Structure 1
Amino acid sequence: MFKKMTMMVVCFCLLFGMMAGNASAQRVIKVGMGDPIDSDQGAFATRFKEAVEGLSNGEIKVELFPGGALGAETEMLQNVRMGTLEVAIVAIGNMAPFVPQFAALSYPYLIETHYDAVKATTGYLGNYWNEISKEKGGFEILGWTYSNFRYVTNSRRPVCNLADLKDLKIRVPQNRVILAAFTAWGANPVPMAWAETFTALQQRVVDGQENPYIVNYTMNFHEVQNYITETHYQYSLQPMIIGVNTLANMDDETRAIITRAGIEAQQYGLLFQLLEAENAKQAMQAKGVQVCELEDEDEWRRIAMEKVWPQYYDFVGGKEVIDTMLKHLGK
């Protein structure tokens, strides 16, 4: 009897040990992002998590860290390159210091429609960016977050034409091309870290900033901004990236799951944007924000192409980068 009980205890311990071992073997993938969970980035990351966990039958767990919980986007990008963070969603402006060609995607009035945005990130151009990323940045692109056009907000007056923009202090990201564009349009652009933006608007250190509707609403900019202008000079794109070595070190099945989940999240993210941007616009209007459509956007475009484009070919890796985009965008 004693021997039987002993054997049962031993078997139970072995079984428990095997179960514990399997539980601890569950792979965990951390995803960092700068924006909150109810943003475009959050929608993309949430769908990525659902897809990975579903396709792996729960054997791979995805943990999301929104709102800069793992640091600024530049820091997360560095950690992805080093392999200390598996995945991050990073705006193209923060990728350009590591891979200059990405600055081409911020060229004013190069991407002018949703169709352009999809063409610029899929097919030939999608592969083009991924190959450059692997070669120069040490990371691969799993998918793209589409965040729509960056609209200009401010607290001082309606901006319906270039004259209205004159001398307004507009917060812009650390991007030389966008800085030059706003200068050429007569504004007073102020490069500033994203984390400092809301406080700067609140304290009237700057008059305004520029971001898509969903970002503007989820960041509560309607609390400190009275006007929004529907400009179409730049389409906001934020790729989800993974380190080259991180992806290469995965087994074939895991790599296939991660890759497929990135594609599914990209498709979902585009639909989310198209549906939710209008909701965010209406919500901001309900909060009292006045919307203005540009009366002279052709002039904004002309100034950008004549005064800004030629100055920054070297900054984006050469004129051939812009020519490649124009060719494959059908322009």
Structure 2
Amino acid sequence: MKRTLIASGLLAIAAALIPSLAQAASPAYTLNVSSSLTVDDPMFKGLNQFKEQVEARSGGRIAVKLFPSSQLGPDEDVLEQARSGAGVAVLVDGGRLAPFVKEFGILGAPYVVDSYDEMRKLVTSPLLETWNQKLRAASGHQILSFNWYQGERHLLTMKPVSKPADLAGVRMRTPGAPVWLETVRGLGATPTPMPWAEVYSALQMQAIDAAEAQHPATYGSRLFEVIKHVTKTHHIYLITGLVGSKAWFDKLPADLQTIVREESLKAGDTASKATNDSLANYEKLMREKGVKITEVDVAPFVASTAAVYDKLGYGELRKQVNATLGKK
């Protein structure tokens, strides 16, 4: 009789534990994070940290899965998935958010800041948080953080470049957002919109003549095999944000919302430091591959791209940005 009672009791305890064990084994929320970059890019140091810390701090309630090299599709497609409420997030620049909230485009405007520190100050300011709230209302996106620095963008060409006139008639790959198109025009080239994944073959087949990018992406995509020159124009300090779905984010309990945003900011700083620490080595590696890397006087490029702000209606907004940065 005693054995029967003990066995019955153990069975009851086991039955009570099974649902909780199943719940612990199965996350309540899943976030699929997409990037066009390869796993060798410094950004992935931050993305891996984000995954580890969110899963740890949430006690396994959130599972984070990373998808490099555009495995979930082009960035624009992932942004559309986020709009529909899917549990996805993607590292994107401000230009891709500008169709929803125009202000974001200025983050990718030429020479808007003079250093990474200035960009970090801007993207963690109350000004950017007001843009985030506009974005939530306008498109249903949620910014987790916008401090993922990928490096300064430079010119990637087959011929030497020292001034905007040298780019006349040069077909240069660009993302399709207006701020990128106008910036490339301002630099002196003919913009050719194209997904990043197609750039290598397009250069190889001479469908385009040039591109512009930051060192980690240039090296990660092996573009040193199909270009001869990197001209350091520093025309854009490429800052990106981890952008997901408002609907997905709003379903999270308040404590998990806090964890996701805090860890995204911390991971963005880790990724940014990794980027800054990597730049000199990328230059060394590309020189060893035969690429000529040249510093030039950027003043002509600053002057030739100055009109981008008025063309896109960013004149007044730039004053707000300068005020945020304490600049005249």
Fold in common (TM above 0.5): yes
Give the conservation status (yes or no) of the 8 Å contact 1:98–1:136. Answer: yes
| Distance verdict in 2 for CA 1:181–1:28, change over 3 Å | closer
SS of aligned partner of 1:225? coil
Give the conservation status (yes or no) of the 8 Å contact 1:141–1:241. Answer: yes
**Runs of 4 or more off by more than 4 Å in structure 1?**
8-11
CA distance in 2, matches of 1:13, 1:184: 69
Question: Deviation string for 1:244-263 (max 9, x for gaps)?
Answer: 23222211221121121112
**More deviation, 257-266/30-39:** 30-39
* Residue 221 of structure 1 pairs with residue 223 of structure 2: yes
Which of the residues 134, 149, 153 maps onto 1:146?
149
Which of the residues 265, 278, 281 maps onto 2:280?
278
Alignment of 1:260-271 (within 5 A): 260-271=262-273
Question: Deviation string for 1:262-296 (max 9, x for gaps)?
Answer: 1211221221111012222211111111101113x
| Distance verdict in 2 for CA 1:14–1:176, change over 3 Å | closer
Unaligned runs of 5+ in 2: none
Give the conservation status (yes or no) of the 8 Å contact 2:156–2:230. Answer: yes
**More deviation, 183-192/195-204:** 183-192
Give the conservation status (yes or no) of the 8 Å contact 1:87–1:242. Answer: yes
CA distance in 2, matches of 1:53, 1:290: 43
Give the conservation status (yes or no) of the 8 Å contact 2:163–2:300. Answer: no
TM-score by length of 2: 0.90
* Residue 207 of structure 1 pairs with residue 203 of structure 2: no
CA distance in 1, matches of 2:124, 2:166: 37
Alignment of 1:76-155 (within 5 A): 76-144=78-146, 145-154=148-157
TM-score by length of 1: 0.89
SS of aligned partner of 2:248? helix
Pairwise CA distance, 1:139: 2.0
Give the conservation status (yes or no) of the 8 Å contact 1:168–1:207. Answer: yes
Give the conservation status (yes or no) of the 8 Å contact 2:111–2:236. Answer: yes
CA distance in 1, matches of 2:46, 2:318: 28
Give the conservation status (yes or no) of the 8 Å contact 2:216–2:282. Answer: yes
Alignment of 1:166-177 (within 5 A): 166-177=168-179
**More deviation, 43-52/68-77:** 43-52
CA distance in 2, matches of 1:83, 1:160: 46
